[in-house]
Amino acid sequence: MPSKSIDHAFTARHALGAASDPTYAGALSFMRRRFTKNVKGADAVIWGIPFDAAVSNRPGARFGPQAIRRASAIFDNDPQYPFSLDLFEALSVVDYGDCLLDYGRPDRAPAMIEREASKILASGAFLVSLGGDHFVTWPLLRAHAEKHGSPLALVQFDAHQDTWPDDGKRVDHGSFVGRAVREDIIDPARSIQVGIRTHAPEDCGIRILHGFDLEEMRAEEIAEIILGHVGETPAYVTFDIDCLDPAFAPGTGTPVAGGPSSAKMLSVLRRLGGLNIVGADVVEVAPPYDHADITAIAGAAVAMHYLGLLAERKRR
């Protein structure tokens, strides 16, 4: 096999081009992208944030980045469905590895995440972050708002509103959205939450598409509502994997029954190419509660869709 190679994450000479590793072997970067801290010239950077000290129920999302990378090996570098193109023919993507965090000082995590994210964003690359629990979106939002201007629109796929009150200092995955509204990081009038199946004390003026509503809607209708509501506002997309019904994402810290399928939500993502997306993440993948990598595969597919939309945008 003279044209084949192995361990593309380390042996690749540049960031373009597909890998040829078998799906069952080789170094497990995200979609076999080259591991490097040098992001110069990269269109997109994949970054893991192994943090779960903010969870209110089951911990384990610190293992999410590893699991999502492992699951991404199933993408065998053929043209990716449903985009019908080799994502890496013209899109330069690198895997930056993980954020270094002190597990004994969770209070320092927000500043460390924001500082490193800002460093990556300064290169001009699009940042796709792999959580970690949903608190990591808070420092990511701050970094993106500093880069792209605030307030941003937030497009949140989630079973929870995450608008519970806090004192502005808590490390809590259930309150970061309310904090972002109060600190003018996101614009509630242009933000939307999709898949909500719980009640919080306040909605902060954010539009909500509830879980049971999604059941009666087609993916096209959901996407049209999102596109119309956000408009041209620079948008940050965050996908909490518990947006999906536990049948499609059992490996998460706070599962809620009655949610949509992975097929429907991926179809919605596929239709969001008209958004001005400036950053994105997928969070709350907790492998200790997963079965046969179901949740990790869904998380990897979400991240791949982000890259697909970015590749199409660059091609246009």
β-strands 277-283, 126-131 pairing: parallel
Supply φ then ψ for residue 309, to 5 degrees. -65, -40
For tokens 């948008």, name the residue. 235
Find the farthest-apart pair of alpha carbons in the chain and give their distance in angstroms, rounded. 62
Sign, CA dihedral 230-236-30-52, equals negative
Cα 267 to Cα 156: distance, rounded to the nearest angstrom: 15
How far separated are the first and last CA of the chain, in Å rounded?
35
CA distance 96 to 102: 18
Query: Which residues share a beta bridge with 207?
Result: 192
State the residue for tokens 């970067």.
29
| Helices assigned H by DSSP within 156-253 | 176-182, 211-215, 219-230
Detail the residues annotated as belonging to a binding site: 134, 158, 160, 162, 240, 242
Where does residue 203 fall: left (phi above 0), alpha (psi -120 to 50 degrees), or beta otherwise?
alpha
What is the CB-side half-sphere exposure of residue 131 using CA atoms within 13 A?
Answer: 33
111 contacts: CB under 8 Å, gap ≥ 6:
139
Binding site residue list for Mn(2+) = 134, 158, 160, 162, 240, 242
